Amino acid sequence: MIRRFFTYYRPHRRLFIIDFSSAVIVALLELAFPLAVQWFIDTLLPGGNWNMIVSVSIGLLLLYIISTLLQFIVNYWGHKLGINIETDMRQQLFQHVQKQSFRFFDNTKTGHIMSRITNDLFDLGELAHHGPEDLFIAVMTFVGAFWIMLTINVNLALTTMIIVPFLIWLITYSNLKMNAAWKNMYTDIADVNARVEDSVSGIRVVQSFTNEDFEIKRFTKNNRKFRRAKLTAYKVMSFSSSGIYMLTRLIILVVLVYGAWLSFNGSLSYGELVGFVLYVNVLFKPIDKISAILELYPKGMAGFKRFTELMDQSPDVVDQEDAIDVPSLKGNIQFKDVTFSYDQNKPVLEGIDLHIRNGETVAFVGPSGAGKTTICSLIPRFYDVNNGRITIDGIDIREMTKKSLRSQIGIVQQDVFLFTGTLRENIAYGSLGATHEDIVRAARQAHLEDFIAALPDGYETQIGERGLKLSGGQKQRIAIARMFLKNPPILILDEATSALDTETERIIQKALAELSKNRTTLVIAHRLATIRSADRIVVVTEDGIAEEGSHDELIEQGGIFANLHKVQFETSV
Ligand code: ADP
Ligand code: MG
């Protein structure tokens, strides 16, 4: 885990070297200053040479200035290093999430993903900056200070070491506790995020059921759980830092008393005693640092662990190594004995055979939950089949690159997603390089022209979050405009079940009819008009494909479709 963490330093190694070496020099100077004080008291002072004292002071001043400059570098560049690493990780994670397959998003809460990309990485930058640097300096200062202390007075130096086993115990104990506490804290804040995501995106449902209090109660529970976890972490942290404080002050007291006794006996000069006490402080500085790392390390590593967990999830739908680009498909789609399940236990589709010829419009009808949407989402490889194969123009879709396959399939879903931004940007999403003329043409083809012309800002109108300022019909037409821009040979329309008013429906119907011209079109149909105008109807039930044929053929057969038709449409025709 730690080795992997260090690989993130690689692109910033120059920064790391500058920062690290500056920090080491600062630490060495820190180590040397008490020695200078001791020499000042014991040698310079009795010598009584004022000029010497002045020049030594100027020398010290120069060293202090150098040290200050270096500390600036350590502070600023060190943090820069940390931020760079944190940003790199965030970037990688976002890119990784973009590449995940549908199955991943089926199983992962949006709030949890957000948490990983934001909060979880916050402490990593700090750890990246302070971790290796402070640890190295802590060890170096500790060993250095102890060595100098030994040269001053062996017995006194060894006495200070009584503290070490206590410190080791304290540090190990709190490290263990804190690891667990930070891990919980991250899980709990992710749950808080997920709860916020859920209830805010579902606020219309919440309020229409007047379930605000219920939502608040659920949130309170998550929020309190988070509070408890964080509090536990801080409790352990306070315990360890107070413990360290207590131990270090005790040892200073011991050094003072024992040192005083030694100096009465004449085996320690005043300068040595002062120098020694100063070194005890130098010795304890790294311990403070270690206790800071003690806080940072489990925090940062808990975040890093969650980061790697996500980074290690590879998408289940990937390009084969020898995948081919298929730049211009005709759209001759064939399902051969296709079996598919979302999870192991229960197959949704079994032994599906289906042939859709290029240019054909095929309507899928059947009870909800039968698998119509599933059939359609197998064609762009949102999921891979478990058994059997799907070919387009005779080529297995798993042998094509995802990019070339998907760029030739257009999908208009029931639920049109609009991005925050302008109307223009939302239409242009269908083809990012589209010119203004292209966009206007697409809007006209989608019958959006009059609507856009009536807006004061026209194409530059901002669409509210999730496009809520637009009606269902308008959103659908934006989706259709995107498709005109994308211009794919294969089209999949998952028709909205929500009833549009007849006028809107007529317009959308017209736009869709135009859109599906010269394209292979699969429609999951709820509207009679669509079903009638299709070349072929495929009836899907829980048991697979039950009937296939033209509208009139199926009515004549008097099977499932004829029945469905009677129940659903007879009253309205
Ligand atoms: P239809 O479009 O005909 O209404 P679907 O294809 O959406 O039916 O669903 C077929 C079956 O697969 C249903 O039982 C549904 O619960 C299940 N299903 C659909 N989507 C998923 C998914 N993402 N994960 C797990 N099961 C799913
Ligand atoms: Mg469906």
The CATH code of the domain that includes 197 is: 1.20.1560.10
Cβ(12) to ligand 1 under 6 A? no
- Which ligand is in closest contact with the Cα of 495? 2
Co-location of 255 and 401 in the same domain: no
Separation of 494 CA from ligand 2 center, angstroms? 7
Co-location of 23 and 103 in the same domain: yes
Cβ(370) to ligand 1 under 6 A? yes
Co-location of 181 and 38 in the same domain: yes
* Residue 396 φ/ψ, nearest 5 degrees: -60, 130
Separation of 541 CA from ligand 1 center, angstroms? 12
Pocket test for ligand 1, best of 339, 344, 373 (most atoms within 8 A of CB): 373
Co-location of 256 and 365 in the same domain: no
Pocket test for ligand 1, best of 106, 342, 495 (most atoms within 8 A of CB): 342
Pocket test for ligand 1, best of 106, 364, 374 (most atoms within 8 A of CB): 374
Pairing of strands 361-365, 536-541: parallel
- Tokens linked to 551: 């509208």
Do the Cβ atoms of 143 and 287 come closer than 8 Å?
no
Distance separating alpha carbons of residues 440 and 456, to the nearest angstrom: 16
Distances (CA, A) of 429 to 193, 222, 299, 421: 28, 37, 40, 11
CA angle centred on 468, ends 466 and 470, rounded to 5°: 120
Which residue is closest in CA terms to ligand 1's atom 20? 374
- Tokens linked to 29: 């100077």
In a domain, 564, yes or no: yes
| pLDDT by 10-residue block (mean), the chain, 573 residues | 91 93 90 84 84 88 92 91 94 94 91 88 88 86 89 89 87 84 89 90 89 94 94 89 87 90 88 86 79 81 90 92 93 95 88 94 91 95 95 96 95 85 92 93 92 88 71 88 94 75 81 89 85 91 91 88 78 51
Which residue is closest in CA terms to ligand 1's atom 27? 342
CA angle centred on 511, ends 506 and 515, rounded to 5°: 145
Q: How far is CA 80 from the centre of its chain?
A: 21
* 367 CA closest ligand 1 atom index: 3
* 377 CA closest ligand 1 atom index: 6
Cβ(369) to ligand 1 under 6 A? yes
77: left (phi over 0), alpha (psi -120 to 50) or beta: alpha
Give the pLDDT confidence score for residue 573 in this predicted structure.
43
How many beta carbons lie within 10 A of that of residue 30, not counting itself? 16
Identify the CA nearest to 378 among candidates 526, 497, 512, 492. Answer: 492
* 524 CA closest ligand 1 atom index: 2
| Size of the chain, expressed as the number of residues it contains | 573
Co-location of 262 and 185 in the same domain: yes
Separation of 375 CA from ligand 1 center, angstroms? 10
The count of structural domains within the chain is: 2
SS3 (DSSP) at 360: coil
Cβ(368) to ligand 1 under 6 A? yes
Cβ(373) to ligand 1 under 6 A? yes
What is the residue range of 236's domain?
2-311
Q: Which of 311, 342, 357 is the last residue of a domain?
A: 311
Do the Cβ atoms of 447 and 528 come closer than 8 Å?
no
In a domain, 413, yes or no: no
Distance separating alpha carbons of residues 139 and 445, to the nearest angstrom: 72
Co-location of 154 and 240 in the same domain: yes
Co-location of 286 and 351 in the same domain: no
Strand partners, 363: 523, 537
- Tokens linked to 282: 């130098």
In a domain, 181, yes or no: yes
Co-location of 303 and 343 in the same domain: no
CATH number at residue 555: 3.40.50.300
Do the Cβ atoms of 12 and 85 come closer than 8 Å?
yes
Q: Which of 282, 311, 340 is the last residue of a domain?
A: 311
Distance separating alpha carbons of residues 317 and 103, to the nearest angstrom: 9
Distance separating alpha carbons of residues 41 and 563, to the nearest angstrom: 107
Cβ(131) to ligand 1 under 6 A? no
Q: Which helix (H) or strand (E) holds 167?
A: helix 163-201
Co-location of 306 and 354 in the same domain: no
- Which ligand is in closest contact with the Cα of 346? 1
* Residue 258 φ/ψ, nearest 5 degrees: -65, -40
In a domain, 554, yes or no: yes
Angle between helices 13-39 and 50-98 (to 10 degrees): 150
* pTM for this predicted structure: 0.82
Co-location of 303 and 336 in the same domain: no
Identify the CA nearest to 89 among candidates 310, 315, 295. Answer: 310
In a domain, 467, yes or no: no
Cβ(376) to ligand 1 under 6 A? no
Distance separating alpha carbons of residues 481 and 512, to the nearest angstrom: 10
Do the Cβ atoms of 431 and 486 come closer than 8 Å?
yes
Separation of 73 CA from ligand 2 center, angstroms? 59
Co-location of 62 and 151 in the same domain: yes
Distance separating alpha carbons of residues 314 and 531, to the nearest angstrom: 40
In a domain, 232, yes or no: yes
Separation of 414 CA from ligand 1 center, angstroms? 14
Q: What is the DSSP string of 505-524?
A: HHHHHHHHHHHTTTSEEEEE
How many beta carbons lie within 10 A of that of residue 80, not counting itself? 16
Co-location of 261 and 377 in the same domain: no
Q: Which residues contact 184 (CB under 8 A, 6 or more apart)?
A: 229, 232
User: 138 burial class (0-12, 13-18, 19+ CB within 10 angstroms)?
Assistant: buried
In a domain, 562, yes or no: yes
- Which ligand is in closest contact with the Cα of 371? 1
Identify the CA nearest to 515 among candidates 416, 430, 419. Answer: 430
Identify the CA nearest to 513 among candidates 502, 499, 500, 527. Answer: 527
In a domain, 471, yes or no: no
